[in-house]
Copies of this chain bind each other. A is one copy, B any other.
């Protein structure tokens, strides 16, 4: 086996400030695992980083098809990293389909690593290639490294005793070894990890390690026309780190939030992509008293959570847009009976089934406005995987202190992506303990806290506080059914005011990057945080007068936001939808904001945001 295109080896590594690498292969090629390992090694090497796992809708798409391509992207660097990167600096294509799908993302001149062993006629045809791109000069714009990884892997593990099929499955480790060499990563933790993972099947562990080492060795020894890269350590806030996905951080944050409220948490949900991981994570947290209930549908999930809140627990439910649609009637009841409820929405591309595995931010309307009647609720949005932890705690605080449903918006990108996370010390968080009503004298269930307007929460089982609640309008003064006009007016206004009161308990909106006034404010929310903050920073570095404001509280909005926005000449609102926060801001503040809207199932690229900012500043 020779490595045909490799040439002379130059003396020392090229230094890069940051690099974007994308691993792409067949669903069965283990790209997510490869990416995960590379992420860990990169974190250990002291880089800041962000990742983007991008897998197909199909469980196991037929081998070699374009729709079966699974990819994992990582951006890492010596500076702080805000997104998983725009164009790739390096693309690993394990088969023709991966090349076909991913090539357009590789920057001109970028490094293209190809497993030639998979470029046979059959695979080329499946990928829709008429001619072999390795032979028709169509890849001339890139720096290509072609390796018969399949063959080299077989060679490396030939003594392992594995079947051919199993042996070939080590391809990804071979590739990882090679890429480790490319970026000067340490193999030891991966080797340890493999031994631990396959403790019961040592022959598999050793074969994978052999492949890893062989890939690495090829980099070290072969004669290549590039030297490998070095990405120096980033300046990172000191402390203990781990990687965390949005789904993990959400699970932790909700459970911690309930513990800060000092009540047990009940989680009723129904699986749906990309929200299911939250259910999976919480299902493994039983020792913390978390009850998880996989209901028969989204309606039952929401209703069970409301039932739990009625019984004195913190009811939480989760889904994605189409499932949340089903919950809205029940959420209306929670609004009417004023019980705590957290509705996590991990947004995905729609309408309808849409593109379940692709990300979008298009459920803001649904969250803020999407119910019958005057049904005000609280809406929060997380900006990044790690931020999910903080936002979840905030949701628990508001839900229990204000006896109200709270929507917590995440999205497919945040949910699946992982980032390094400075692990918080849970003991430093303020408690916000629930005080169940116990006084029987003068009790009725719609007694209110005069400050917040939250109603009294009395737990079934408490003698002397027996009461009945329901969705019919209630008398302000007794909690009994009431159909009188004045009372309905008063109750409607009270519900509205209660939600408005939440704004009194949240911090003033700050400016993420830039000044508190100026030419242009870019107002983002949710997962656009990365590209927007990077783009604004880049252009400020160029001297442009642009600032970045990023909202966590979508409803009610922070009290100072209107005033803050009025300090800028222009406002630009980038969203992965057709302009939903835009509507809210324009309606609230009459601010002549414009939208930057991308609805492609993919995060913004930094360059897209930069271009829009330039346009806005120039026009």
A contact set with B: CB distance below 8 Å? 56-57, 67, 299, 320-326, 328-329, 332-333, 335-337, 347, 349-355, 357-358, 360, 362-363, 365-366, 368-375, 470-473, 483, 485-486, 488-489, 492-493, 495-496, 577-578, 580, 582-584, 586-588, 590, 592, 598-602
Closest to A599 in B: B492
A555 CB to nearest chain B CB (Å) = 12
The answer to whether A358 and B488 have CB atoms under 8 Å apart is yes
Report B-chain residues with C-beta under 8 Å of the C-beta of A602.
485
Instruction: Give Cα A470–Cα B355 distance, bound, in whole angstroms.
Output: 12
With A329-B326, A332-B351, A488-B358 known as contacts, the answer to whether A369 contacts B366 (CB < 8 A) is yes
Chain B residues positioned under 8 Å from A349 (CB to CB):
373, 473, 488
Besides A328-B370, A351-B374, A354-B471, 4 new A-B residue pairs in contact (Cβ under 8 A), listed by A number: A352-B373, A354-B488, A366-B372, A587-B587
A354 cross-chain contacts in B, Cβ below 8 A: 336, 373, 471-473, 488
In the assembled complex, how far is the CB of residue A489 from the closest CB belonging to chain B, in whole angstroms? 5
B335–A472 CB distance below 8 A:
no
Given that A352-B471, A601-B483, A602-B485 are contacting pairs, would A360 and B373 also be in contact in the complex, using a CB cutoff of 8 Å? Answer: yes
Contact of B586 with A590 in the complex, beta carbons under 8 Å? yes
**Which residues of chain B are within 8 angstroms of A328 by Cβ–Cβ distance?**
325-326, 328, 370
Residues on the B chain within 8 Å of A355, using CB: 472-473, 483, 488
Please give the distance in Å from A450's CB to the nearest CB on chain B: 22
On chain B, the residues within 8 Å of A371 by CB distance are 325, 351, 365-366, 370
Bound CA span A544–B328, Å: 44
A578 to B374, CA, bound (A): 7
Q: Which residues of B contact A365 (CB under 8 A)?
A: 369-371
Inter-chain contact B324/A489, CB cutoff 8 Å: no
Number of copies: 2
Which residues from chain B contact A351 at a C-beta distance below 8 Å? 332-333, 335-336, 371-375, 471, 495
How far is the CB of A243 from the nearest CB of chain B, in Å? Answer: 26
Residues of B within 8 A of A470 (CB): 353
Residues of chain B contacted by A370 (CB below 8 angstroms):
328, 365-366, 369-372
- Could you give 13 example pairs across A and B, Cβ below 8 Å? A321-B372, A324-B372, A326-B326, A326-B328, A333-B353, A350-B373, A360-B373, A362-B373, A366-B370, A493-B578, A586-B586, A586-B588, A586-B590
CB distance from A594 to the nearest CB of B (A): 12
User: Is the pair A350, B363 in contact by a Cβ cutoff of 8 Å?
Assistant: no
CA distance A337 to B351 in the complex (A): 10
The interface centre, meaning the residue of A373, A471, A586 with most chain B CB atoms within 10 A of its CB, is: A373
CB-CB under 8 A from A358, the residues of chain B are 483, 485, 488
A353 to chain B, nearest CB (A): 3
Chain B residue nearest in CB terms to A299? B326
Which chain B residue lies CB-closest to A577?
A: B374
The answer to whether A372 and B350 have CB atoms under 8 Å apart is: yes
Give A609 Cβ to nearest chain B Cβ, in Å: 16
Q: Say yes or no: B366 contacts A352, CB within 8 Å.
A: no
Shortest CB-to-CB span from A321 to chain B, Å, is 3
- Whether A374 and B586, one on each chain, are in contact in the complex, defined by CB atoms closer than 8 angstroms, is no
Contacts of A485 in B (CB 8 A): 358, 600-602
Give the nearest-CB partner of A347 in chain B: B372
| A325-B321 contact in complex given A354-B373, A374-B599, A488-B355, C-beta closer than 8 Å | no
A495 to B351, CA, bound (A): 10
Choose from B333, B353, B369, B600 the contact partner of A471 (Cβ within 8 Å).
B353
Cα A360 to Cα B483 with chains together (Å):
13
Q: How far is A350 from B331 in the complex, measured between Cα atoms in Å?
A: 12
Instruction: Provide the bound-state CA to CA distance between A586 and B584, in Å.
Output: 9
The residue of chain B having its C-beta at the shortest distance from the C-beta of A333 within the complex is B352
Q: How many angstroms from the CA of A357 to the CA of B587 in the assembled complex?
A: 31
Which residue on chain B has the smallest CB distance to residue A492?
A: B599
Closest to A377 in B: B351
Inter-chain CA distance A335–B577, complex, in Å, is 16
When chains A and B are docked, how far (Å) is the Cα of A582 from the Cα of B583? 12
Chain B residues within 8 Å of A492, by CB: 578, 599
CA distance A483 to B493 in the complex (A): 45
> CA separation between A372 and B326, bound complex, in Å?
10
Residue in B closest to A598 when the chains form the complex, CB atoms:
B489
Task: Kindly identify which residue among B357, B486, B587 contacts A583, using a CB–CB cutoff of 8 Å.
Answer: B587
Bound CA–CA A492/B350 (angstroms): 9
CB-CB < 8 A to A347: which residues of B?
Answer: 372
CB distance from A619 to the nearest CB of B (A): 18
Contacts of A329 in B (CB 8 A): 322-323, 325-326, 352
Q: In the complex, which residue of chain B has the Cβ closest to the Cβ of A367?
A: B372
Minimum C-beta distance from A118 to chain B (A) = 22
User: Separation in Å of the A273 CB from the closest CB of chain B?
Assistant: 12
A78 to chain B, nearest CB (A): 30
Contact B472 A353 (CB under 8 A): yes
Of B57, B373, B588, the residue contacting A483 (CB under 8 A) is B57
The distance in angstroms between the C-alpha atoms of A580 and B375, with both chains bound, is 11
Which of A365, A492, A495, A577 is packed against the most chain B CB atoms within 10 Å? A492
